[in-house]
Structure 1
Amino acid sequence: MITSQASRHDLLFLNRLALANPESSAVVDLSVASSPIRITYGELNELSDRAAQGLLDLGVQEGENVAYLMPNRWEFIVLTLAVWKIGAVACPMLPAMREREIPFVVGRAKSKVLVIPDAYRNFQYGPLIQKILPDMPNLRHVITVAPNDPKDLKNCLGGLASREPDREWIARRRPDPNAPAQLLFTSGTTGEPKGVIHTHRTLSDALAAHVEALGLTAKDTIWVPSPMGHQTGLLYGMMLAMYLGAKQVCQSAWDVETARVAIERHGATFVQAAMPFLADIAHDARPPQGLKIFVATGAPVPRKLAEEARRRLDCKVVGGWGSTETCMISIGSVKQYEDSSWRTDGQVIPGRQMKVVDEQGRALPPGKEGLFKVKTTAMFTSYLDHPEWYEAAVDAEGFFNTGDLAVIDEQGNLNLTGRVKDIVNRGGLKIPVSEIENLLYRMEGIGDAAIVGMPDDRLNERICAYVSLSNPQRELTLTDVTAYMQAQGVTKSYWPERVEILPELPRTSTGKIQKYVLRQLISDKLRAE
């Protein structure tokens, strides 16, 4: 077992934020890269106080979940701070969510407030929300946010910031360190996503350990291209910058040229993001220059890519492992930078423990593959409405069962080698396999169905659907499947990207589909192509 000790830290996230220089730059919003919106820490504090007042006026109570679906714009940051300032719980969603996912999250969170953009990436959210309102009976207020200058207090943030704040009222609502702060839903491997709850203390602990491990300071500029509705963008982008009192550069839609603006014009020095972001900027004909550290997480990084990116970006590329439940557990060293920093998934972060065990729970020696388990002071506190899931995931010693297989070498470097959980890891996004399979089973003409990951150089895996047909004479195309997924309201990133038809799917003697056979079939076929 690998253990490391963390130094003490006494300041929680909201306390550290209050120490930031009010004149220093807090946010550069590149929604329109040619005309960025800039906000200082003083302005951020004022705006979030006003938005907090708006939420109080809507009747938001302490401990209540506030749901919002916003891209990486300044409004997301202000809204999150406003939620926390009144002791409520931030429940952000990814902008790609649609009519299946939004009612699920809002319903499980019992949120009375939903904040949405008027439009994002040419999609209008208003008609969608009107369509699904009957599926969200607890919802009382829908706030629609159109792009506005933050100085337009009457109209920005959907009017939430229009009123002068009662700061004494807001101060009385300041949360306890152990109060819930964040509710994020992970993709479920058994059909239902799990609501992961973190407190202000666990999130602050995660940030303190990260800052110590990477040597980050207020002089760094944090680039945030990862969606803030996901833990990577929220905790290790938005919150990390404010914990440091540093500037953050927000990118709401991915393209390399905006990334170049973030790095070369606005001085981004640090980013934590998934493999596709790294691959795209490293493979560009003119790789942007200026980054100091790129922490690549969410999916195993091909070591060839890591080596190439390190050379072409002229920055330290390091691997790492974390989860929504545990935050980051391991990271490659930037202080003693060497091949193991990027060839592996890093070493244990101070204050965390990690071990590899056999099926009986016995610790395995270095070099032996087994089940990867971790323990951390930044551990989530519960699964929403399902304490039994928490009890099943966290053992009596406080170790979380990651569901991954791993090897820890003699030097303490972690190498993820596989998974126990049935998931597809598409560029760091965990695809709810069973949910998609269940939908395919209901599609007319399909007799049997299985979703597997197929290798991909950019995303790690893409989604392949293997099916057998109830009528062998019928044809089935990928267009048929994606049209069906769209009609069912499934988020586009969950749609199969390839369909393979077999007379029958391979099964064990007990009837279980042999997915390892299917994964090998598609891997061999892609190589042949």
Structure 2
Amino acid sequence: MNFDTVLLPPRRAASVAAGHWFDRTINDDLDACVAACPDKVALTAVQVESGEVRRFTYRELAAMADRVAVGLSRLGVGRNDVVAMQLPNGWQFTVVYLACSRIGAVVNPLMHIFRERELTFMLGHGEAKVLIVPKTFRGFDHERMVDTIRPDLPKLQQVVVVGGSGANSFEALLCGPAWENEPDAHEVLTRSRPGPDDVTQLIYTSGTTGEPKGVMHTANTVMANIIPYAERLHLGSDDVVLMASPMAHQTGFMYGLMMPIMLRASAVLQDLWDARRAVELIRSEGATFTMASTPFLSDLAKTVAETGTSVPTLRTFLCAGAPIPGALVEQARKVLGTKIVSAWGMTENGAVTLIKLDDDDQRAFTTDGCPLPGVELKVVDADGAELPAGQAGKLLVRAASNFGGYLHRPQWNGTDADGWFDTGDLARIDAQGYIRISGRSKDVIIRGGENIPVVEVEALLYRHPAVAQVAIVAYPDERLGERACAFITTKPGQSLDFAGMVEFLKAQKLAIQYIPERLVVRDALPSTPSGKLQKFKLREMVRDGSI
């Protein structure tokens, strides 16, 4: 596979000179852990439904990574070959990435919710040589599904099944045989180790706006984000990171898999979100930090409040993916005793902005944080002119952690000659440098020439006692061009009708033109597994008349 990482060479010299690229890989960090703390527990993997718990010290984790790496090489995997895995959070996920890094292969994490359509596109586009899937997860037979699409994937040479019973099982092919004791094991493990600018991860965008794009990252680009992220959050070797967010997204991958190894810390992986089990794990494992989207925080706070079971070790909960309602921050602070940190980021960059630990709590629900070191931001108008503080416009990012480009789609890289990446988001920057995302550029609703401040209207609706979730999208109108439709879900036992919504928003002193002109109440709103609302699906529903 040839990776067209055209965005990397122009910024290499400056990124190294500024100290933002560290020119090391996860291999260096894992080897350092084995040398410094071989018997420290590196990883605890918990399966919620079965109750199975598997622990690895750093010595054991490295040994298993070596074993699986040699096993992959026996399947024909070599430098720059893509190994795709559609696995839930578990030790196999971590080990496969570390194994790929040993032999210079590129890992392609895939969400476990993807089915035939998404997988056929991603596996074909990424030219995956090997695909690793669970036999079953959440009652779904992944092996059977893959069998149906293999004829459409000529480059896919091997399917490996975790928990399988046949000759293609993960156990039979990769983690069972003592591959690390083979005569050529040392050569296999050292001859093709990747450099810091080689692609280490191919990850597809989560699909909030339609067709996925293959994002290419190197060790330098991801570590340029993880290191300042950990420093801002004061994370170190004594921390225990609980990760229940999917590791097939950057949240889980960068901060649940890579960061603990880079810090010589410990990771606790939870494969299914269950707030009660999360509380138990925080208490039993001494978890100090976690990162997830707003629904996870809400569930955790609710569970602690209902059970009276405290989580005294959990110092920090970083919440990203959507604005955090102020009431939730206040409740979580009171109930959990945990600092709530708001953040904003993208698959292409990792976390770009987050508030600081000594910031006032109000920052968590009024802003999306300020830039990490190595990140520059600016907000521009439609003509590209930079806007002053407080004015909303297109958000551009120039960062050491910016990706290497979209695989086979350099025309979509969205980065100008000066390195500014168009995020596709609208935002404003305050006088202190903190940003507030005000919507996606595709989410803008222009009603009769007037831009509706979508995020602000959504934030007001979140204040209504009946509203659990809200998303506002445009629908076409002959006279005004567009009008606004509000989709909501309600809290148990609560209700809200159109008249009630209008009355509530008027009481909030909102301009009449900004009040949505339709209201749709649903049991659930479409979202990615990380909690990001898929507004493009709502737009399709309201435009094609399916509601």
Pairing 1:433-448 to 2, within 5 Å after superposition = none
Which AA in structure 1 matches 2:345?
A: G
* Aligned sequence identity (%): 36
Contact 1:9 1:208 survives alignment (8 Å):
no
Which AA in structure 1 matches 2:273?
A: W
| Number of equivalent positions | 448
Cα displacement (A) at 1:507: 3.0
- Please give the secondary structure, in 2, of the residue aligned with 1:272: strand
Alignment partner of 1:164 out of 174, 179, 182: 179
2:283 aligned with 1:264, yes or no? yes
Give me the whole-angstrom Cα distance separating, in 2, the residues matched to 1:383 and 1:203.
15
Taking a change above 3 Å as real, the CA distance of residues 410 and 111 of structure 1, as seen in their structure-2 partners, is same
Alignment partner of 1:46 out of 60, 63, 66: 63
Contact 2:217 2:403 survives alignment (8 Å):
yes
Which AA in structure 2 matches 1:267?
A: G
Which AA in structure 1 matches 2:239?
A: D
- Please give the secondary structure, in 1, of the residue aligned with 2:104: coil
Cα displacement (A) at 1:88: 0.8
Cα displacement (A) at 1:36: 1.6
Deviations 1:405-459 (A, max 9, x none): 1111112211111221259xxxxxxxxxxxxxxxxxxxxxxxxxxxx9x977998
Which AA in structure 2 matches 1:303?
A: G
2:38 aligned with 1:22, yes or no? yes
Taking a change above 3 Å as real, the CA distance of residues 350 and 507 of structure 1, as seen in their structure-2 partners, is same
Contact 1:405 1:419 survives alignment (8 Å):
yes
Give me the whole-angstrom Cα distance separating, in 1, the residues matched to 2:114 and 2:443.
22
Taking a change above 3 Å as real, the CA distance of residues 56 and 265 of structure 1, as seen in their structure-2 partners, is same
Give me the whole-angstrom Cα distance separating, in 1, the residues matched to 2:78 and 2:483.
47
2:425 aligned with 1:404, yes or no? yes
Give me the whole-angstrom Cα distance separating, in 1, the residues matched to 2:358 and 2:209.
40
Taking a change above 3 Å as real, the CA distance of residues 311 and 73 of structure 1, as seen in their structure-2 partners, is same
Which AA in structure 1 matches 2:26?
A: F
**TM-score scaled to structure 1, two decimals?**
0.79
Cα displacement (A) at 1:132: 1.6
Cα displacement (A) at 1:164: 2.3
Which AA in structure 2 matches 1:354?
A: L
Pairing 1:22-421 to 2, within 5 Å after superposition = 22-32=38-48, 34-146=51-163, 157-161=171-175, 162-165=177-180, 166-188=185-207, 191-284=210-303, 285-286=306-307, 288-289=310-311, 290-336=313-359, 338-390=361-413, 393-421=414-442
Give me the whole-angstrom Cα distance separating, in 2, the residues matched to 1:516 and 1:522.
6
Which AA in structure 1 matches 2:173?
A: G
Give me the whole-angstrom Cα distance separating, in 2, the residues matched to 1:342 and 1:462.
17
- Please give the secondary structure, in 2, of the residue aligned with 1:253: coil
What corresponds to 1:516 in structure 2?
A: 484
Cα displacement (A) at 1:156: 5.4
Shifted more, 161-170 versus 124-133: the winner is 161-170
Shifted more, 340-349 versus 196-205: the winner is 340-349
Give me the whole-angstrom Cα distance separating, in 1, the residues matched to 2:467 and 2:226.
28
Cα displacement (A) at 1:253: 0.5
Pairing 1:457-476 to 2, within 5 Å after superposition = 460-461=469-470
Cα displacement (A) at 1:265: 0.9
Give me the whole-angstrom Cα distance separating, in 2, the residues matched to 1:459 and 1:380.
35
Taking a change above 3 Å as real, the CA distance of residues 155 and 183 of structure 1, as seen in their structure-2 partners, is closer
Taking a change above 3 Å as real, the CA distance of residues 12 and 141 of structure 1, as seen in their structure-2 partners, is closer
Taking a change above 3 Å as real, the CA distance of residues 459 and 164 of structure 1, as seen in their structure-2 partners, is farther
Contact 1:53 1:163 survives alignment (8 Å):
no
Which AA in structure 1 matches 2:125?
A: R
Contact 2:196 2:220 survives alignment (8 Å):
yes
Cα displacement (A) at 1:163: 3.5
Give me the whole-angstrom Cα distance separating, in 2, the residues matched to 1:155 and 1:189.
34
Cα displacement (A) at 1:339: 2.8
Contact 1:407 1:417 survives alignment (8 Å):
yes
Give me the whole-angstrom Cα distance separating, in 1, the residues matched to 2:436 and 2:65.
42
Contact 1:146 1:158 survives alignment (8 Å):
no
Contact 1:318 1:342 survives alignment (8 Å):
no
Contact 1:75 1:157 survives alignment (8 Å):
no
Contact 1:404 1:420 survives alignment (8 Å):
yes
Give me the whole-angstrom Cα distance separating, in 1, the residues matched to 2:468 and 2:62.
37
Gaps of 5+ in 1: 149-153, 424-451, 467-504
Give me the whole-angstrom Cα distance separating, in 2, the residues matched to 1:143 and 1:335.
47
Give me the whole-angstrom Cα distance separating, in 2, the residues matched to 1:22 and 1:459.
46
Which portions of structure 1, spanning 4 or more consecutive aligned residues, are displaced by more than 6 angstroms?
5-8, 454-459
Give me the whole-angstrom Cα distance separating, in 2, the residues matched to 1:522 and 1:256.
37
Cα displacement (A) at 1:168: 2.4
Cα displacement (A) at 1:22: 1.3
Which AA in structure 2 matches 1:176?
A: G
Taking a change above 3 Å as real, the CA distance of residues 318 and 170 of structure 1, as seen in their structure-2 partners, is same
- Please give the secondary structure, in 2, of the residue aligned with 1:112: strand
What corresponds to 1:427 in structure 2?
A: none
Cα displacement (A) at 1:79: 0.7
- Please give the secondary structure, in 1, of the residue aligned with 2:128: coil
Contact 1:213 1:350 survives alignment (8 Å):
no
Superposition RMSD in Å: 2.9
Deviations 1:36-65 (A, max 9, x none): 211111110000100000110111121111
Shifted more, 92-101 versus 27-36: the winner is 27-36
Give me the whole-angstrom Cα distance separating, in 2, the residues matched to 1:362 and 1:335.
33
Cα displacement (A) at 1:293: 0.7
Give me the whole-angstrom Cα distance separating, in 2, the residues matched to 1:111 and 1:8.
28
Give me the whole-angstrom Cα distance separating, in 2, the residues matched to 1:329 and 1:257.
31
Contact 1:119 1:125 survives alignment (8 Å):
yes
Give me the whole-angstrom Cα distance separating, in 2, the residues matched to 1:108 and 1:328.
26
Which AA in structure 2 matches 1:516?
A: A
Contact 1:67 1:92 survives alignment (8 Å):
yes
Taking a change above 3 Å as real, the CA distance of residues 521 and 66 of structure 1, as seen in their structure-2 partners, is same
Cα displacement (A) at 1:257: 1.5
Contact 1:297 1:319 survives alignment (8 Å):
yes
